[in-house]
Chain A
Amino acid sequence: MEGSRLLPKLSVIVPFYNEEDSIDPMYRAIVGAVEPLHVPFEMVFVDDGSRDSTAVRGEEIARHDPRVRFIKFRRNYGQTAAMAAGIEYAGGEILITMDGDLQNDPADIERFLAKMAEGYDIVVGWRHRRQDKLLSRKIPSKIANWLIGRVTGVHIRDNGCSLKAFRGSLIKNIPLYSEMHRFIPAMAWIAGPRIAEIKVRHHARQFGKSKYGLSRVYKVLLDLMVIKTITSFTSRPLLWFSLLCLPLTLIGSAALIGGLVAQFGGAISLTLAGSGIIFLMGAVTLMASGTLGELIYKLGDMRPEDFARLTKRTTAASPS
């Protein structure tokens, strides 16, 4: 297979947003770290609608290095979108994502590749000695990580670390939207990947200023709820809705019976019976929603067996 040798084995995906000072050093650091490994690689740089000269510098880099694919957004869409675009345009078997602000160290890529070679589908970085403010960054992140672990069942010490490695075939088929880049491992959990964690170096910010803060926690919590619901709900909406309408049915029946039985005691309780009927009606519409959900699911292009295929490993009998 002559053609396949040209395909990059590794894609390094870096989103940039107003990082005019960081993009050149970042590029040099990646090349310096990956070239000695003798792996065919490419770099996918995503400009997330920067207002400074990031795009100009990125184009300049792409002009001199055919290994660089530079993707320019029309405007700012956020980091998840940038990551998703990078993943979409990357052609490598292994994708490595990292931040464009030089806080991640490309020298760690080697260890990520070694870990992936052991057969893991996702390798997540863990910022061991994190160089950030304690109160506004570290503590919220600790809480968020704990919550994510509790809720999704994917215990990762540092979901927020951008330095991660993925098997391309897996991550390209996991839907990413909103601000879910910090939950990629949790999202990917529906496919049952083998996840490993390794410590990575983390540098203090050199240029520009940080774009995250405390205000994100609220959004993170909401997203978390959505993910939990989606992952438990998508594969069998009817069942999920049935569970949801179970309490409604129980309360409704009890109230209805209670209202009717009260008649024998002498007093007529229309209100109780009425509210029982309302609850039962709610249960019926929920069942209908569940059926609708099942229909949507059947017409859509996400199926559990597809997720199973993403991570399966086959060992065929050797030909005798």
Chain B
Amino acid sequence: MTSDPTATLISVIVPVGERKTPLAELYADYKAGLQLSGARFELIFVLDGPHPEYESALLQLIACGEPVSVVALTRYFGEATALMIGFEHARGGIILTLPAYLQVEGREIGKLIAALDEADIAIGYREPRASSWFQSLRRKTFHGLLQYVTRLHFHDLGCGARALKRRVLEEIHLYGDQERFLPVLAERQGFRVAEVAVRQSNLDRHRQIYRPRKYLRGFLDIFNVFFLVRFTKRPLRFFGMIGVATLSVGMIELLYLVVDRIFFHSPLADRPALILASLLIVLGVQIFALGLLGELVIFTHAGGSKDYQVDRVIQYPRALLADRPRAATVAADEQAEQS
């Protein structure tokens, strides 16, 4: 890693969605913040759907010689998709993601970049945070649920200001609106995640009203992450357990019915409970079979899905070691970078 901050290029990806601050104000704020950090930077605006006014304003910026590029998508694909596409155009070793509206103050950007000395990905959380009791309840419920599921605690996954080393995004594939779970997935890949307190921008302090659909989406997202984190490697452990449990309940019920018929002469064939018992048994077998299929997928593709992530491989070539230890160190470092 080069320690000289001016030598690294920082690529800033700004996905432009529904919520946006006028470009002049946004750009001035971000630019000031980036210049404070002293590094070279480029901004990549990804227009997620048609935003004609924004686009023409951006084109003006480009005409003025600002380090800005624009990627326009034909329709709304979701913020995570926009980020991934923006990343394809990023040339920097450090990637910053910033929201298209002033969520945090631009001069806080430097803190995020500085945090990368110790971590692979730094995410901001707004502190102090202005919000109503309802908003903070909503936020706490979401993060509490997520913590229960993933055993990871985050303060503010809704914050769009993040700094990442390039290799993080090279390994993680996001789509739709999974951008909030970027730190969760990064953690899962073995990257070090840091949380940095950043000051909330004044413009962010208005009350956001969520539609019911958004709540449902949030819940399903957590469910999705739950599966991803816990059970993609061991489907039979999960499905097998549920399947066997269902099967056992069905079996016990059936047994009870049979015993009841034989010893107490209550007619078996007319009891609706029989239908329930057979449903449970069949369902249990099917769930178990699903787990088996999952296990089969993993088994037959075991070569492609590894259980571990290697940070570095260190081996010093014999020829270099004999007379030039200094050169050997460099070679080994290069090897480490590649791996």
By a beta-carbon cutoff of 8 Å, the part of chain A in contact with chain B is 49, 58-59, 62-63, 66, 68-75, 77-78, 80-82, 84-85, 89, 175-178, 222, 225-226, 229-230, 233-234, 237, 241, 244, 248, 255, 258-259, 262, 267, 269, 271-272, 274-275, 278-279, 281-282, 285-286, 289, 292-293, 296-297, 299-302
Residue of A nearest to B284 (CB): A282
- A72 in contact with B317 (CB, 8 Å): no
In the bound assembly, the distance between CA atoms of A278 and B275 in angstroms comes to 8
Say whether B61 faces chain A, with CB atoms less than 8 Å apart.
Answer: no
CA distance A78 to B189 in the complex (A): 14
Who on chain A is nearest to B310 by CB?
A: A71
- The reply to whether B296 and A74 contact each other, CB–CB distance below 8 Å, is no
Is the beta-carbon distance between A234 and B240 smaller than 8 angstroms? Answer: no
Neighbouring B residues of A233 by C-beta, 8 Å:
292, 296
- Contacts A225-B240, A289-B290 hold; do A234 and B311 have CB atoms under 8 A apart? no
Cβ A229 vs Cβ B300 within 8 A: no
Provide a sorted-by-A list of 21 A–B residue pairs whose CB atoms are within 8 angstroms. Answer: A66-B318, A70-B314, A71-B310, A73-B308, A74-B189, A77-B307, A80-B307, A84-B306, A177-B302, A229-B236, A229-B295, A237-B292, A255-B278, A269-B269, A271-B275, A275-B279, A278-B278, A282-B282, A286-B289, A289-B292, A293-B293
Asked if residues B285 and A234 are in contact (CB atoms below 8 Å), the reply is no
Question: Are the C-beta atoms of B269 and A259 separated by less than 8 Å?
Answer: yes
Contact assessment for B286 and A282 in the assembled complex, using a CB-CB cutoff below 8 Å: yes
Q: Of B233, B237, B270, B289, which is in contact with the most chain A CB atoms at under 10 Å from its CB?
A: B289
Contacts of A281 in B (CB 8 A): 282
- How distant is the Cα of A299 from the Cα of B300 in the complex, in angstroms? 8
Contact of A282 among B285, B299, B312 (CB under 8 A): B285
B299 touches A234 (CB 8 A): yes
Q: Is there an interface contact between A269 and B314, defined as CB atoms closer than 8 Å?
A: no
Complex CA gap A274/B329 in Å reads: 75
Q: Which residue of A lies closest to B305 (CB)?
A: A177
Please tell me if B9 contacts chain A, counting CB pairs below 8 Å.
no
CB atoms of A248 and B298 under 8 A apart: no
Q: A72-B310, A75-B309 are in contact. List 11 more A-B contacts (CB 8 A).
A: A68-B315, A73-B309, A74-B311, A178-B233, A225-B240, A230-B299, A267-B270, A282-B285, A289-B293, A299-B300, A301-B301
CB distance from B331 to the nearest CB of A (A): 11
Number of B residues with CB within 8 Å of any CB on chain A:
54
Shortest CB-to-CB span from B283 to chain A, Å, is: 8
Q: Which residues of A contact B303 (CB under 8 A)?
A: 175, 301
A73 contacts across to B, CB distance below 8 A: 190, 308-311
- Using CB atoms and an 8 Å cutoff, list the residues of chain B in contact with chain A: 189-192, 233-234, 236-237, 240, 268-272, 274-275, 277-279, 281-283, 285-286, 289-290, 292-293, 295-303, 306-318, 321, 328-329, 332
Complex A-B, nearest 6 residue pairs according to Cβ-Cβ distance, in ascending order? A300-B300, A74-B190, A175-B302, A282-B282, A275-B278, A81-B308
A/B pair count, beta carbons within 8 Å? 166
Residue from B240, B272, B278, B317 within 8 A of A66 (CB atoms)? B317
Of the candidates A49, A66, A269, A296, the one whose C-beta lies within 8 Å of that of B296 is: A296
A70-B315, A300-B301 as given contacts; A77 in contact with B269, CB under 8 Å: no
Which of A81, A226, A292 neighbours the largest number of chain B CB atoms within 10 Å of its CB?
A226
Q: How many angstroms between the C-alpha atoms of A82 and B316 in the bound complex?
A: 21
Contact B315 A66 (CB under 8 A): yes
User: Assuming the A-B contacts A62-B316, A73-B190, A282-B286, are A85 and B270 also in contact, with contact meaning beta carbons closer than 8 angstroms in the complex?
Assistant: no
Inter-subunit contact A72/B237 (CB<8 Å): no
Complex contact A66–B316 (CB within 8 A): yes
* A271 lies within 8 A of B314 (CB): no
* CB <8 Å contact, B296 and A237: yes
Q: Are B282 and A271 in contact (CB under 8 A)?
A: no
Chain B residues positioned under 8 Å from A80 (CB to CB): 307
User: CB < 8 Å: which of B237, B268, B301 contacts A226?
Assistant: B237
A258 to B302, CA, bound (A): 47
* Bound CA span A13–B336, Å: 20
Known A70-B314, A226-B236, A275-B277: A296·B309 in contact at CB below 8 Å: no
Q: Chain B residues with Cβ under 8 A from A299's Cβ? A: 300
A161 to chain B, nearest CB (A): 22
The answer to whether A59 and B299 touch (CB under 8 A), given A269-B270, A275-B275, A286-B289, is no
Q: How far is the CA of A85 from the CA of B306 in the complex (A)?
A: 9
Interchain nearest-CB distance for A78 vs B (Å):
8
Contacts of B328 in A (CB 8 A): 63
Known: A259-B269, A292-B293, A293-B296. A84 touches B308 (CB 8 A): yes
A-chain residues with CB within 8 Å of residue B233 when the two chains form the complex: 177-178
Interchain CA distance A267-B301 in the complex, whole Å: 54
Closest to A251 in B: B278
- Alpha-carbon separation in the docked complex, A77 to B187 (Å): 12
Most buried by A among B271, B299, B311: B299
Q: With a CB–CB cut-off of 8 A, which chain B residues contact A278?
A: 275, 278-279, 282
Q: What's the least CB distance linking A281 to chain B, in Å? A: 7
Q: Enumerate chain A residues within 8 angstroms of B309, measured Cβ to Cβ.
A: 73-75, 77
CB distance from A61 to the nearest CB of B (A): 9
CA distance A91 to B2 in the complex (A): 32
**B285 lies within 8 A of A271 (CB):** no
Chain A residue nearest to B290 (CB atoms) is: A289
A22 to B286, CA, bound (A): 49
B323–chain A nearest beta-carbon distance, Å: 13
Q: Tell me whether A302 and B190 are in contact (CB under 8 A).
A: no
Partner of B307, one of A81, A229, A237: A81
Also in contact, A63 and B307, with CB within 8 A (given A297-B300, A301-B301): no
**Chain B nearest Cβ from A74, distance in angstroms:** 3
B269, B272, B278, B298: the one contacting A258 at CB < 8 Å is B269
Whether A59 pairs with B282 at a CB distance below 8 angstroms is: no
Chain B residues with CB under 8 Å of A300's CB are: 296-297, 299-301
**Which B residues are CB-close (under 8 A) to A302?**
299-300, 302
> Are A222 and B237 touching (Cβ within 8 A)?
yes
Contacts of B316 in A (CB 8 A): 62-63, 66
Chain B nearest CB from A103 CB (Å) reads: 23
